[in-house]
Structure 1
Amino acid sequence: MNSELGLIKRQFGHRARLALSPAEIRAMDDQAHAARTMWNCLHAWWQMMPKSKRSLAAADQAIRQARGDIDFLAALPAQAAQAVLKTYFQAWKNCWDGRADEPGFKARFRSVMSVDIPQGRDLQIKRVHRRWGVVNIPKIGRVRFRWSKDLPVGKKANSDNRITGARLVKDGLGWHIAFRVQTLERVPEPHQGPEVGIDAGVNLPLALSDGNHQDHGRAPRLPNGDSDRDKWLNAEEKAKLLRLERQAAHRKSLRKPKEKTSRRLHRTYDQIRALRAKATRRSIDWQHKTTTALARQYGTVVVEQLNITNMVKSARGTIEEPGRNVKQKSGLNRSISQEAWGRTVTMLAYKTARYGGTLHKVPAPHTSQRCSACGFVTPGSREDQATFACKNPDCGWSGNADWNAARNVLHLYRIGLVEVPAAGRAVVRRACRVKPATAR
């Protein structure tokens, strides 16, 4: 960052769809499987070697020998193999620092197929049409990709504005390329917009304290009360997904134990995966558009510090102590996971900073049970999932439950009860005790 010139370096990613021929798809699949095999070879080498010999140089020598001994590993470019090595060692550093679990074996059908291109100069990007560009992929050649965002290429590229690398990723809709972009931008002026508290929910995705709620128009519950697992699909797509799931279950039931999965069943799984990927793409698109609008409108955004991992734990219990309402809790867990609250907060964090605003987190306990008008937690006030009616005889305020929680979230920020990261964990800084939130 150059404070004298008021400039700051910004790094972000941009994902684009690739247009590949069947031969190119097979070649990229071979590279992805070689990268996964390289990871598994490194993991096996790490487990066999004593701790004193686990070094980056020794691992580099091991993968060089593996590329010479195993023929199909040659499909992976040398730079991509080095990227696998660096990623594996970084995974262990993240584990030692307490940020992730130990790296493990990557299974063939449960792992994301991806290949890294660490050098941006190898891409040789060029725009050839209003909607399409071409990129050079090592050992594949020139490939078209969907041009949906201006990239620093050609005369626009320099030492401060450039593409530093890319990553090839495959999902249910095919292969995509994720560019790593570095730009030099002006430091944004402080955002003078208003403050807003946001409560993330299931019935109402984003409830705002000023009443400007954000709803994606997708009903979280079916008429029969069951959880709608595919609310981002239309009626025809839902019917097709249900038919494919039943078809896959039937074909799986006919497979004998230890029998290889048929190609017909694999094709059915691919069709299911494509529909799931389409729903995820629509969800992410809505989140991007919504968080961008919020970052432009509000100068201070306040959210709850949620432990989503604990919120979506199963209620199944154990054999000795079985859980209750397991099916209902499972449906709620699916709805929470589909809303992707953590991804929404991540988007708000970097978008508010881009527009000069700030994002703050406050403690989550009792924000949905406390009345935003009188400040008391009265039993029975939360009558149902959608309505809050204060049972305090001196208050009697009623309104939308998510709106009530959003008002409480903003009030906690205004009195100074915010989460401050310290020593790798979140601690609560208390400025004063919680008082009734009368003024809004």
Structure 2
Amino acid sequence: MSRVASVKRQFGHRARLGLSPAEVSAADAQAHAARTMWNLLHAWWQMMPKDRRTLANADAAIRQSRKDVDFLAVLPAQAARAVLKAYFQAWKNCWEGRADAPNFKGRFRSVMSVDIPQGRDLNVKRVHRRWGMVNLPKIGRVRFRWTKGLPVGRRADSENRITGARLVKDALGWHIAFRVMTQEPAPDPHTGPEVGIDVGVIVPLALSDGTAYEHGAWLTEREKARLLRLEQLAARRKQHRKPGERTSRRLHRTYDEIAGLRAKAKRRAADWQHRTTTTIARTYGTVVVEALTVTNMVKSARGTVDVPGKNVAQKAGLNRSIAAEAWGRTVTLLAYRLERNGGILVKVPASGTSQRCSACGLITPGSRESQAVFVCKNPGCGWSGNADHNAARNLLHLYRIGLVAVPAAGRAVVRRARRVKPPTVR
């Protein structure tokens, strides 16, 4: 009897919490205590000599601070230790060149969050078709929206369980993000076709087979008008504030309403990305995308005082459009969804893919007539078509000849070794 291969999956699931006003105040107090704990750790780190900056000394300092400062005691002990581990991990990321050095967290600039590192403290249960119950340390038993099957009750074991969670507050309220570990059967290799995908601003996703995935505005005309009125109102109220004066409650409420509308638009964009990537992962077996460095693409064109930049306003608008499309998140969603369906995601070099003709393979100056039209200027070709689909066909061509930049999935390494052809000796 053959044994079915299985794979371990670790993923997160975010759900909205149904908190009462008293529970919201308790969660806010814990989040502010966690932020204060981070700032105290950073101040302690700067004051201590290098030979005394150890995890044990920092843990002792945290324990003593929770005894001496009353409002820090509202933070559960496990959450305080999670702040300590996150702070030391931030320094490790800095030393290894993955991030900047950690700094103080501002009251209004940082995300309010509380970590619950142990899953056994949650005691998650489903009580209704749409609602579940979870235990939050020092808050109590609260409701959350049940939108995904979680390994709880009889479905939970040592290989399928909730390993922890984090409380996160955004403009739409408090949410809980579960950390889930499951053991699932390994998917069979996807037998779907190969496709290249070109990302853009006018056409968000253009496929090499001629398919295009587009979306409209994330806010309705009425919501856009309301957002504009709120922004104008906030600007007027900000003018009446004197230098050094605290922000009024009215201005804070206006900022909250603006943040709520922007968060709604962001959620609609994320929902479109989830639905679109799910459809692509179920349809195609191999997806080829560009190896883009988005951070370099959205750099400002302002320049310096000695050498000022050109078309700064136009470049700023393009940067906002690129950031709004969130290309990196789309590729991340495609990667793990393809892996779950047995497909692979491959990245190829992006240079020259928008200028090359996918029919004759030549780069002729002037072929890219506009943002949407490509007409090959090669006298022997003359092919014309959509510029985005032409770039997607070029991406697929690079993969088929073996020019792979970064394999993005586990099986992509093996697939690349099979697809790469040795150079022809002449």
What TM-score does the superposition give when structure 1 sets the normalisation length? Answer: 0.91
The structural deviation recorded for 1:432 is 7.1
In 2, distance between residues paired with 1:116 and 1:151? 19
Cα distance in 1 for residues equivalent to 2:125 and 2:43: 41
Q: Does 1:349 align with 2:335?
A: yes
1:373 to 359, 364, 378: 359
Q: 1:273 matched to which residue of 2? A: 259
Quote how far apart the aligned CAs of 1:353 are.
Answer: 0.7
Report matched runs for 1:12-161 at 5 Å.
12-161=11-160
Report the equivalent of 1:189: 188
- Distance in 2, matches of 1:432 and 1:326, equals 46
Mapped to 2, the partners of 1:420 and 1:243 lie a distance apart of: 46
User: What is the CA deviation profile of residues 223-267 of structure 1, one whole-angstrom value per residue up to 9, with x for unaligned ones?
Assistant: xxxxxxxx3111111001000000001111111001100010000
Structure 1 distance, partners of 2:300, 2:73, is 44
Distance between the aligned counterparts of 2:364 and 2:69, measured in 1? 68
- 1:145-182 deviation line (CA, Å, top 9, x unaligned): 11111111111111111101100001110000000111
* Alpha-carbon distance, 1:421 to partner: 6.8
Paired with 1:44 and 1:371, the residues of 2 have a C-alpha distance of 58
* Deviation at residue 295 of structure 1 after TM alignment: 0.8
Query: What SS does structure 2 have at the residue aligned with 1:8?
Result: strand
Single out whichever of 388-397 and 111-120 deviates more from structure 2.
388-397
Q: CA deviation at 1:408?
A: 0.6
C-alpha contact 1:416 1:432 (8 A) present in aligned 2:
no
CA distance in 2, matches of 1:143, 1:46: 36
Deviation of 1:371 after TM superposition, in Å, equals 1.1
Per the TM alignment, residue 431 of structure 1 is displaced from its structure 2 partner at its CA by 5.1
8 Å Cα contact 1:379/1:391 also seen in 2? yes
Aligned to 1:412: 398
Once the two structures are overlaid, the 10-residue window that deviates more, 71-80 or 61-70, is: 61-70
**How big is the shift at 1:420?**
3.6
Match of 1:207 in 2: 206
Q: May I ask how many residue pairs the two structures share in their alignment? A: 413
One-letter code of the match for 2:157? Answer: N
Greater alpha carbon shift after TM alignment, 373-382 vs 305-314:
373-382
Q: CA deviation at 1:98?
A: 1.9
User: Does 1:235 pair with 2:234?
Assistant: no
Secondary structure (helix, strand or coil) at the match of 1:202 reads coil
Distance (Å, rounded) in 2 between the aligned partners of 1:10 and 1:421: 19
Match of 1:286 in 2: 272
CA RMSD of aligned residues (A): 1.6
Equivalent runs, 1:213-252 vs 2, <5 Å:
213-216=212-215, 218=216, 231-252=217-238
2:9 aligns with 10
Separation of aligned partners in 1, 2:174 and 2:334: 27
C-alpha distance in 2, partners of 1:373/1:215?
Answer: 25
Distance 1:84 1:4 in 2: 42
**1:24, 1:342 → 2: CA distance?**
35
Give the counterpart letter for 1:341 in structure 2. W
CA distance in 2, matches of 1:52, 1:372: 61
Say which SS state the counterpart of residue 13 (structure 1) adopts: strand
CA distance in 1 between counterparts of 2:391 and 2:48 reads 54
Deviation of 1:334 after TM superposition, in Å, equals 0.6
Q: Deviation digits for residues 192-220 of structure 1, max 9, x if unmatched?
A: 1110100110000010001121112x2xx
Letter in 1 for 2:273: Q
Per-residue CA deviation, residues 47-96 of structure 1 (Å, 9 max, x unaligned), is 22222221111111111111122211111110100111111111111222
Q: 1:432 to 1:342 in 2, by over 3 A?
A: farther
Given the alignment of the two structures, is residue 264 of structure 1 paired with residue 263 of structure 2, yes or no?
no
Distance in 2 separating the partners of 1:36 and 1:431 = 54
Unaligned runs of 5+ in 1: 219-230, 423-427, 434-440
Q: Which amino acid aligns with 1:43?
A: H
Tell whether 2:382 aligns with 1:402: no
Aligned-partner SS, 2:212: coil
CA contact (8 A) 1:80 1:118 kept: yes
Aligned-partner SS, 2:264: helix
Distance 1:139 1:91 in 2: 27
Identity %: 74
Aligned residue for 1:393, secondary structure, equals coil
Q: TM-score, normalised by structure 2?
A: 0.94
The one-letter code sitting in structure 2 at the alignment partner of 1:133 is: G
1:340 is matched with which residue: 303, 316, 326? 326
